């Protein structure tokens, strides 16, 4: 598909600066821009690419002021990042979506398939499942008995949803994710550990996205709940009976242990670890590799393992980098003190 730069600007309620008639047929990163593509600039550290890019047009923020001549067409919008995201969503929505049931696959008795459904080859759908409108089940997906999946949800190849779990509207579950495996529950005995049956479920509310190879354990009793709007990256572990509040985002390789309650609108960096049975407030931000072992109040910003206030963390880290130098100074000071002591002894 092709669009003129001025048409893209009109669609985004932006302003053209340059040739509005230039034809755009694809998108590109600004550092890899090619003729006929639309790029975007939102991060200042990429600004130098603007002056050399071959992209035919570039989205920039309205208040952006170039520091050198620009040869490409600029489209000024309120937020370049949000604008490119909106365009990509529109592009994706225009792509053809698969429909129907491919063979071979297995669909058990009493399964309800909503209008516009798709079931890929080698998928398994257990008995008494209910799939809403436009649900897309890609090849080799396993859906256990009694699972309910609401309208517009997409489950990509190889994902697993265990029995009884509930998936809301417009969710995305990526390949290899496991929803509803047993929680890590074992009771110590004199001869080892006895397994505690995990009889609960997992509930994903609306507009949740689960990354590839992420695992969300079913509850021992009740439900592990991933609330509306939550976005989980690849390779994340969510323990049994955890609640993740609305619109929280968690980056890759993080883990939340059982029965912890995470608040709304939190942001966790990669490799964050949170112990079990904790309460994490709303709006909490945790830097990458933070280790949390105690409750956190609303809007806390922490980093480190164990995690503490980020501003203090950076001060401590600055000192940490100087430890070898400080150690050398202390060693030299110790030698001087010993020398003075020895001189005093000789004098006396």
* pLDDT tens string 237-247: 999 999 999 99
At residue 348, the pLDDT reads 62
Between the alpha carbon of residue 88 and those of residues 3, 94, 299, the distances in Å are: 14, 10, 32
The chain-wide mean pLDDT, for the chain, equals 95
Whole-number pLDDT of residue 237 = 98
* Long-range CB contacts for residues 191-199, cutoff 8 Å, separation at least 24: 196/220, 198/240
Cα–Cα distances in Å, from 76 out to 15, 61, 254?
5, 5, 37
* Per-residue pLDDT, 310: 83
Are the beta carbons of 41 and 57 closer than 8 angstroms? no
Query: What would the two tokens of residue 178 be?
Result: 């496991």
Mean pLDDT of 176-192: 95
Q: Distance between CA atoms of 166 and 201, rounded to whole angstroms?
A: 8
Told to judge if 117 belongs to the known catalytic residues of this protein, a careful annotator would answer: no
Instruction: Dump pLDDT digits (tens) for 28-70.
Output: 999 999 999 999 999 999 999 999 999 999 999 999 999 999 9
Residue 290 predicted with pLDDT over 70: yes
Structure tokens at 207: 């507009």
pTM: 0.88
Q: Give residue 318's pLDDT.
A: 84
Q: Give percent above pLDDT 70 in the chain.
A: 99
Tell me what pLDDT residue 94 has.
Answer: 85
CA-based nearest residue to 117, from 103, 95, 97: 97
Q: Are 71 and 65 in contact, with CB atoms under 8 Å apart?
A: no
Asked if pLDDT for residue 346 goes beyond 80, the answer is no
Pairing of strands 308-309, 301-303: antiparallel
Residue 294, pLDDT above cutoff 80: yes
Percent of the chain with pLDDT over 90: 85
Q: Which of 48, 117, 174, 240 is catalytic?
A: 240
């Amino acid at each position: 598909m092709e669009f003129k730069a001025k048409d893209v600007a009109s669609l985004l309620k932006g302003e053209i600066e340059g040739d509005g008639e230039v034809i755009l047929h694809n998108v590109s990163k600004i550092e890899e821009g090619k003729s006929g593509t639309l790029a975007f600039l939102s991060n200042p550290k990429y600004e130098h690419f603007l002056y050399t890019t071959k992209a035919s047009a570039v989205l920039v923020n309205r208040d952006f002021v170039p520091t050198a001549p620009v040869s490409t067409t600029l489209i000024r919008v309120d937020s370049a990042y949000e604008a490119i995201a909106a365009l990509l969503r529109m592009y994706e929505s225009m792509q053809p979506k698969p429909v129907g049931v491919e063979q071979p696959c297995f669909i058990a008795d009493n399964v309800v398939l909503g209008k516009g459904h798709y079931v890929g080859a080698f998928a398994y759908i257990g008995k008494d499942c209910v799939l809403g409108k436009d649900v897309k089940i890609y090849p080799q997906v396993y859906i256990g008995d009694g699972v309910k999946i609401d309208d517009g949800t997409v489950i990509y190849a190889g994902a697993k949803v265990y029995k009884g779990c509930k998936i809301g509207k417009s969710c995305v579950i990526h390949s290899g994710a496991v929803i509803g495996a047993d929680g890590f529950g074992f009771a110590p005995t004199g001869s080892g550990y006895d397994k505690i049956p995990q009889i609960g479920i997992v509930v994903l509310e609306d507009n949740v996205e689960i990354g590839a190879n992420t695992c969300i354990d079913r509850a021992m009793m009740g439900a592990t709940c991933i609330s509306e709007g939550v976005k989980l990256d690849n390779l994340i572990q969510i323990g049994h009976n955890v609640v993740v509040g609305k619109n929280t985002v968690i980056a890759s390789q993080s883990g939340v242990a059982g029965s912890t309650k995470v608040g709304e609108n939190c942001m966790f960096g990669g490799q964050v670890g949170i112990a079990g049975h904790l309460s994490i407030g709303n709006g909490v931000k945790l830097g990458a590799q933070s280790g949390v072992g105690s409750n956190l109040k609303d809007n806390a910003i922490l980093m480190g393992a164990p995690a503490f206030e980020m501003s203090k963390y950076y001060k401590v880290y600055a000192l940490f980098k100087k430890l070898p130098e400080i150690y050398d100074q202390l060693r030299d000071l110790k030698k001087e003190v010993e020398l003075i002591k020895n001189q005093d002894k000789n004098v006396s």
